[in-house]
Chains A and B, each alone.
Chain A
Amino acid sequence: MIDIPLTHILILGAILFSLGILAVITKRHAIVVLMGIELIFNAATLNLVAFNRYQPDIMGGQVFTLFVMVIAAAETAVALALVLKVYQYFKTVNLDQVRQPSED
């Protein structure tokens, strides 16, 4: 019988969350920062699903996991549209080089 302890799942969620934070902090490519945010979302959904096992009749964890996925998809769509606009305007997606260009 597969019975994964809750602690293991929570530790995996903590690892994913920390790696997502690390990607958001250290990377300077806008799309990689978006990927880090996706990792953070996935850590949250992993915890929701893990805790959902202890309330199987209410299903709140799984339903909210679906909501989180919808929000993540919408956020990714809007953020990628913004990234493409920034790329058209600044010709780069490096977050350190995105500044207001001089008027010349």
Chain B
Amino acid sequence: MVYTRNVLYAAFGLLVTLLALAAIFVLLFADFVALTQLMVYVGGVLVLILFGIMLSNRVADQAIQSESVNFFSGSLAAGMLFSWLLYFILTAEDVLKLPAPELANGSVAAKSSITAIGIRLITNFALPFEVTSFILLIALMGAAYISTPEKHD
């Protein structure tokens, strides 16, 4: 996604990345999160981004380009950041060797995580849940207000 110049190709690369992440979530026993990833990201956000690409370009032009600037220094910064993160991950490997939870005996956790998430969402995490709903409302109002054409009088 990063290395292409065509914006549409970048969007399709992002689509493949999001699908692969949903598969990884399934492998990590997070089925509800994987489902939400499919619905929200692949179904919602990516369609929104594609709409944005289509609406914000003169379609009759040539292919929608996005040139890269500062590619060397940007790659250098991102590479340094990645090696820094990699260093900390690899040096903390003994810390990260946590005991695998009740899955070590070869049994698959057949229990769905939806019930647990729902119970936690309205008991332990009730306040963030309400704040999130409020933020969604504000974002909806803000997006509708911003995209309304202003009235010239």
A-to-B contact residues, CB < 8 Å: 1-4, 6-7, 9-12, 14-19, 21-23, 25-32, 34-36, 38-39, 42, 45-46, 49-50, 52-60, 62-67, 69-78, 80-85, 87, 93, 96
Identify B51's interface contact among A2, A23, A63, A80, CB under 8 A: A80
Measured CB to CB, the closest approach of chain A to B35, in angstroms, equals 11
Chain B positions within 8 Å of A, measured between CB atoms, are: 1-2, 7, 10-11, 14, 17-18, 21, 24-25, 27-30, 32-33, 36-37, 40-41, 44-45, 48-49, 51-53, 55-57, 64-71, 73-75, 77-79, 81-82, 85-86, 89-90, 93, 96-104, 106, 108-109, 113, 116-117, 120-121, 124-125, 128-129, 132, 135-136, 139-140, 142-144, 146-147
Q: Kindly count the residue-residue contacts between A and B in the assembled complex, taking CB atoms under 8 Å apart.
A: 217
What's the minimum C-beta distance from A48 to chain B, rounded to whole angstroms? 9
User: Given A21-B81, A49-B30, A62-B113, A31 and B53 touching (CB < 8 A)?
Assistant: yes
In contact, A6 and B98 (Cβ under 8 angstroms): yes
> Are B143 and A77 in contact, with the CB atoms below 8 A?
yes
In the complex, what distance in Å separates the CA atom of A69 from the CA atom of B38? 11
Q: Which residues of A contact B143 (CB under 8 A)?
A: 77-78, 80-81
18 A-B Cβ contacts within 8 A?
A4-B27, A10-B96, A14-B85, A19-B78, A25-B74, A26-B75, A28-B69, A42-B21, A45-B21, A49-B25, A54-B98, A63-B125, A63-B128, A66-B33, A75-B139, A76-B45, A77-B48, A84-B56
A57–B115 Cα gap in the complex (Å)? Answer: 11
The reply to whether B98 and A63 contact each other, CB–CB distance below 8 Å, is no
* Inter-chain contact B56/A39, CB cutoff 8 Å: no
Contact (Cβ within 8 A) A25 B14: no
Q: How far is the CA of A79 from the CA of B30 in the complex (A)?
A: 29
Neighbouring B residues of A58 by C-beta, 8 Å: 120, 124
| Given A19-B1, A22-B2, A67-B128, A77-B140 contact (CB < 8 Å) | yes
Task: Determine which residue in A52, A55, A60, A70 has the highest number of CB atoms from chain B within 10 A of its CB, and name it.
Answer: A70
Q: Are B1 and A78 in contact (CB under 8 A)?
A: no
Q: Which residues of A contact B28 (CB under 8 A)?
A: 4, 9, 49-50, 52-53
- With both chains docked as a complex, state the minimum distance between the C-beta of B28 and any C-beta of chain A, in angstroms: 5
CB-CB under 8 A from B49, the residues of chain A are: 31, 34-35, 38, 76, 80
